[in-house]
Amino acid sequence: MEITGISSAENGRRGDLGFLDGDGKSTGSISSDISALVVNEANRINVPDGIPFLVSAFPRHVHSVAAGILFRARQLDWGGEELVSPDSVIDESAKLAPGVVVAPGAVIGAGTFIGANAVIGPGVQIGQNCQIGPGSSIQCALIGDHVKLLAGVRIGEAGFGVMPGPNGPEDAPHYGRVILQDHVTVGANSCIDRGAFDDTIVGERTRIDNLCQIAHNVVLGRSVLVAAFGGISGSVKVGDGSMLGGRVGIADHVVVGEGVSLAASAGLFRDVEDGQTWGGTPAKPIRQWMREVAWLQKNSNPKKKG
């Protein structure tokens, strides 16, 4: 059997190698087109009939070893003394401040400004009339039109994917991209990680404040607002028009509906339906949370009896 690509088990295509890890009790859907899987003992029973598989105590590690043979990140082969590669495509109306580095295959659209000492990685595409702040770095990303990235933004770094290996914890490789749609703004020193296999996506007119962390495979809808110090874990989905207050944290794989409001410092661990307002940690509907806070205050400070 010839393996030509790697993928998640859910989205695998013909020629792809995927993996199944965990206790085997809850697995997502498995693509019927995937060519082969690496699984642990607990997941042998979850392999569909007709799909070949290998068994390992460290299936994701084995999967990553295979991926390392098949693929190599373009930035690892980027070298030379030129700050702006002759193999990049930069519109004549774009402006580059001193110290800007542009890698081979990068594309910068008309009217875009790139701030001092920013780094535009291999194959990155930036649309028209964008503003990229000084000291920013962009890797593995597609940037739409009228996008603003303030100083020190990090786009497309690998996420915090840690997997068990034969010698202890290892960094899981990431092969997805970051896609920022039109009119997105990302505040200073915020980070948006690229996807593990699929893409991290930020929808049109979404606003992300300073010092926020958006993890791998997150999907933010249109016109989402994320206030400062927000932290969104991997594979979270946030619907259009939702608002996240300062210091909001969302656990991985949570689905937030459209038009949802999360109060400042909320810690969200479960799905929220459209239009609701939640607060507290663990987060819950706002009225319930406020009643609990009021009850606690009342009963923790009882009036003295004379």
Sorted by sequence, the CB contacts under 8 Å of residue 286 that are 6+ apart come out as 263, 277, 278, 279
Instruction: List 2's β-bridge partners, or say none.
Output: none
CA distances 48 to 40, 54, 86, Å, are: 14, 13, 49
Cβ atoms 94, 110 nearer than 8 A = yes
Q: How far apart are CA 45 and CA 186, in angstroms?
A: 44
Provide DSSP, 121-145: -TT-EE-SS-EE-TT-EE-SEEE-S
- Is 216 an annotated catalytic residue? yes
- Return the amino acid letter for 278: W
Q: Among 61, 183, 216, 253, which one carries the catalytic annotation?
A: 216
Q: Report, in this order, helix, strand and coil percent for the chain, each rounded to 5.
A: 10, 30, 60
How many other C-beta atoms can be found within 10 angstroms of the C-beta atom of residue 303?
6
Active site residue ranges = 216
